Amino acid sequence: MRRPQPYDVVVSLAGHDGGKLYMVTGAAGERLLLSDGKLRRLENPKSKSPKHVRLVAEGVSPPETDRDIRQTLAQAAQKWAAAKEGKLLGER
């Protein structure tokens, strides 16, 4: 699996925010900068190790506002939930 790039959607695997979706907004050295558009806005992203996140969806275009991030994450959450449900039912 490839390393998450800017504007990809990832899910947190570790920490108190485990299971939460974020958009990668940049990188600081070896760490990813993550935003959710609500608690973690573009101006104040969360720093997290790449090994503590998993790629959910590849990004399309850079977000201009926090609202763009929230909309992208909502769409990704629906697709991700549908994919997880299909796997639970034995579909591919």
Whether 3 is covered by a domain: the verdict is: no
What total of structural domains would you count in the chain? 1
Q: Is 8 exposed, middle or buried (0-12, 13-18, 19+ CB in 10 A)?
A: buried
Confidence of residue 92 (pLDDT cuts 50, 70, 90): low
The per-residue pLDDT for 83 is 77
Whether 32 is covered by a domain: the verdict is: yes
Q: Residue 68's domain is classified under what CATH number?
A: 2.30.30.30
Looking up tokens 């997880």, which residue turns up? 84
Confidence of residue 88 (pLDDT cuts 50, 70, 90): low
- Between the two ends of the chain, the Cα-to-Cα distance in Å is 18
The per-residue pLDDT for 89 is 58
The per-residue pLDDT for 44 is 95
For 44-65, what is the mean pLDDT? 91
Average pLDDT, the chain: 89
The per-residue pLDDT for 82 is 80
Q: What range does the domain containing 55 cover?
A: 9-88
The DSSP secondary-structure symbol of 30 reads T
Whether 77 is covered by a domain: the verdict is: yes
Whether 2 is covered by a domain: the verdict is: no
Whether 4 is covered by a domain: the verdict is: no
Helix, strand, coil proportions of the chain in percent (round to 5)? 30, 25, 45
Whether 39 is covered by a domain: the verdict is: yes
The per-residue pLDDT for 91 is 54
